[in-house]
Structure 1
Amino acid sequence: MAGPKITHVSVTPVAVLDAPLLNASGVHEPYQLRSVIEIDTDAGLSGLAEAYGDDPTLANLRAAAPALVGVDVFDLNELNRRVALALGAVTPGSPTELVGRASRQKTVAQTYGAFEVACYDAQGKATDLRVCDLLGGAVRDSVPYSAYLFYRWAKHPEHAVPDDYPEDDWGAALDPDGIVTQARRMVDTYGFGSLKLKGGVFEPEAEVEAIAALRDAFPDLPLRLDPNANWSVATSLRVTPRLEGLLEYLEDPTEGNPGMAEVARKTTLPLATNMCVTSFEEIPEAAALDSVAVVLSDHHYWGGFRASQRLAGICDTFGWGLSMHSNTHLGISLAAMTQLAAATPNLTYACDTHSPWQREEIIEPGALRWSQGSLAVPEGPGLGVELDRDALARLHEQYLACGLRSRDDKTAMLRADPSWPTHRPRF
């Protein structure tokens, strides 16, 4: 039986306010870029998705969009075929260095995955089923998330923002006390049951002190540290003994599967990654070298829901744990993450989320409800969220006005601090 067929695809870039969050690359700019994908069908049903909003991602989405007209929203193999053909010999690109080296496979997967999510949303509306039901059924009614802690400045540098830019009220966090204060606010506000610190910013010993302070302040909560591969192997081996017994896992202390494997052989800490295992072609090396114990999935760059479930099965086969990566996202992506996590039995680690840093939204309120650090699976069909048209228009205007067309944390930092060392690893 034929399902609804795509009649039109739109891709709308938006810019959302972001905080001056520090990381291994530099500092977040005042705005982060996202794109909103909408598909219309001949049945009068629509489907939503959200993706990165940098120029290369937008170019790929827009190149593929016209080729999807006429595709049945249930025919995902045809969807994938048309995306791959439409991209042709596109130069491989990546919206962020954090997904490892670029490849054509990744570029096609990132593009296809965005449209696949929108098709699943339309499938759900056509069948009156949630996406998690279409993915095999919910194994959990709510999905735990982890507080995402960042070193940060109190506000963006004056040169980086317009005079009327609305800064947030989180204040600076540049030492252990600041990180603990930030964590306490997140736990008190959202009820998070685990804490992750974005590291790779300061000397490793200083970040170990922050982890120790978090352990003292929150003795019962699992802790994670992510240096984003900004430590050398030698530094990692020097630092890991001080972290043993403190962390649930250490994420990407050093670069690449060979380096991670060398560290893994000499520590009892589980090593996690969203940098050296970011596509199916990178899995054999990780398995052969025994470089990782936990993989952080992300449907945005693995290729959507079905590919993420394939990844979950592979992780189960190799005995790897499974968690979920987050970049700056809005409510459509958060709903998609929640639906996928609800239907993935072996995703047993709390997922990452940037939600506490988010101050603007593109979905109608009420569908996503936090309780005790978890999100209830949205109740409506498909993703369970609806687009706020006024917000979409406003955030698109903000995109046009802000002038940013790609994420560049390094350049943003160099404008504020020309002495910032750009070599990697820095420690």
Structure 2
Amino acid sequence: MPESPFTVPADLRNDLAIREISSTIVDVPTVRRHKLSSLSVTAQSYVIVELRLANGAQGIGEAATLGGPRWSEESVEAIKANIDAHLAPAVIGLGADRPELVAARMDAAAKRNNAAKAAIKTAVFDALARTLGVPVALLLGGQMRDSIPVLWTLASGDPAQEIEEAEAKLAARLHETFKVKIGAQPPEADMARLKRLSVALAGRARLIVDANQAWDETTATRCLPVLADLGVALVEQPLPAWNVAGMARLRAHPTVPLMADECVFTTHDMLQVAALGAADVVSLKLVKHAGLLNLKRVAAVAEAAGIGLYGGCLLESSIGAAAHLHAFAGLRELAWGCEHFGPQILTDDLVTQPLRFEEFRVYLPAGPGLGVTLDRDKLRRYART
């Protein structure tokens, strides 16, 4: 009788079998308020996943959210509950050398829950790569690059403070591209704020804008030419995620290149955006795509449609950022760089050796697995009780 696709083959009950998965919610303060169109945070919350194989190898993963279930439907509380009650039990006993089987089991156990699944999958890859003594990037196809241009987000809403912040990043040669979060204020106030930023940083920095779905089509039609006149290089998700047709209509009258974010979680979403011609660029995030392999699948659909790639983030610590960098390192093209500045906005990190930021770039950590080591003292310090 043929074996069910969800049956554990006998050869998986070996040293690579997943024996234990645990999850911990942590809350790490940020150095300043981070304000989006619909929320603001002064601490970043994560679920840290720890996974142990039968051979003793351990792997770690991270799921990030922003301000609870407002950016997507997942909150850290829901992520932990679903990992503990549904996802972890579904994969205990599977071999870490079968990541697609792990993914299939989790998909059968729970719909969506992309951030929760991504954290477990990252921990699986980390443990497997550590067992083999290789970086995770090698298991994903190998590296094209060992560092990536990295931007910084300006999100306090105070242009004077943001200019001072940007000047400090430029002087330290950490960031020369800045993403400005807009949409929390009326459009006229945002345009005035962006004018101050563009004048202050003219000739020394590149600006992109993220509206986080805050505008309707009429507002976007009015504001995009203003942003073009200010020299803004890219506008991220100006319309609600459901309005992909509206994004296509905006792009039919080109002013500033448009980037899709919240409207692209799956390969099917990416295919729809491509078919409608609704974006010039797509933001790639593990919390959206449910894991490293799925991120590369979404990237492949975008590349096939001639859509540019951008490494998005959700203010991950060095754990989540490292996972993204291992995926980004193997992409053939990453023309828009990445925004994995998350470790720098935290008052403290969760690893023993944080990521390296130099000369406007972030570097892929060296060593087996993700290349970062969980600091258990800090995990205990910031764990939610």
Q: TM-score, normalised by structure 2?
A: 0.87
1:149 is matched with which residue? Answer: 154
What is the identity percentage for the equivalent residue pairs of Structure 1 and Structure 2? 26
SS in 1 for 2:36: coil
Task: Indicate if the aligned counterparts of 1:215 and 1:223 stay in contact, CA closer than 8 A.
Answer: yes
CA distance in 2, matches of 1:357, 1:141: 22
Question: 2:343 pairs with 346, 349, 355, which one?
Answer: 355
Any residues of structure 2 matched to 1:15-414 within 5 Å, and which?
A: 15-18=27-30, 19-28=32-41, 30-52=42-64, 54-62=76-84, 63-87=86-110, 104=111, 106-107=112-113, 109-152=114-157, 174=158, 176-189=159-172, 191-218=174-201, 219-244=203-228, 246-255=231-240, 256-353=243-340, 354-365=342-353, 367-396=354-383, 399-400=384-385
Q: CA deviation at 1:123?
A: 1.6
The AA in structure 1 aligned to 2:238 is: P
Q: Which of the pair has the greater relative contact order for Cα pairs under 8 Å at 6+ separation?
A: 1
Q: Unmatched 5+ residue regions in structure 1?
A: 88-103, 153-173, 401-427
Task: Indicate if the aligned counterparts of 2:274 and 2:302 stay in contact, CA closer than 8 A.
Answer: no
Range with greater deviation from structure 2 (244-253 or 377-386): 244-253
CA distance in 2, matches of 1:222, 1:74: 42
2:22 is matched with which residue? Answer: 10
Task: Indicate if the aligned counterparts of 2:343 and 2:349 stay in contact, CA closer than 8 A.
Answer: no
SS in 2 for 1:85: helix
Task: Indicate if the aligned counterparts of 1:35 and 1:50 stay in contact, CA closer than 8 A.
Answer: yes
Q: TM-score, normalised by structure 1?
A: 0.79
- Shift in CA distance, 355/210, structure 1 to aligned 2, threshold 3 Å: farther
Q: CA deviation at 1:186?
A: 2.4
Note the alpha carbon deviations across 1:333-390, whole angstroms, 9 max, x for none: 011112111111222212123333211221102x521111212211110100111111
CA distance in 2, matches of 1:221, 1:345: 25
2:72 is matched with which residue? Answer: none
Q: CA deviation at 1:328?
A: 2.5
The AA in structure 2 aligned to 1:195 is: F
The AA in structure 2 aligned to 1:78 is: L
Task: Indicate if the aligned counterparts of 1:79 and 1:112 stay in contact, CA closer than 8 A.
Answer: no
Q: CA deviation at 1:56?
A: 1.5
The AA in structure 2 aligned to 1:377 is: L
The AA in structure 2 aligned to 1:198 is: K
Task: Indicate if the aligned counterparts of 1:312 and 1:346 stay in contact, CA closer than 8 A.
Answer: no
CA distance in 1, matches of 2:131, 2:291: 19
CA distance in 1, matches of 2:182, 2:43: 21
Q: CA RMSD in A?
A: 1.8
The AA in structure 1 aligned to 2:232 is: L
Task: Indicate if the aligned counterparts of 1:47 and 1:120 stay in contact, CA closer than 8 A.
Answer: yes
Q: CA deviation at 1:79?
A: 0.5
Structure 1 stretches of at least 4 aligned residues deviating more than 6 Å after TM superposition: none
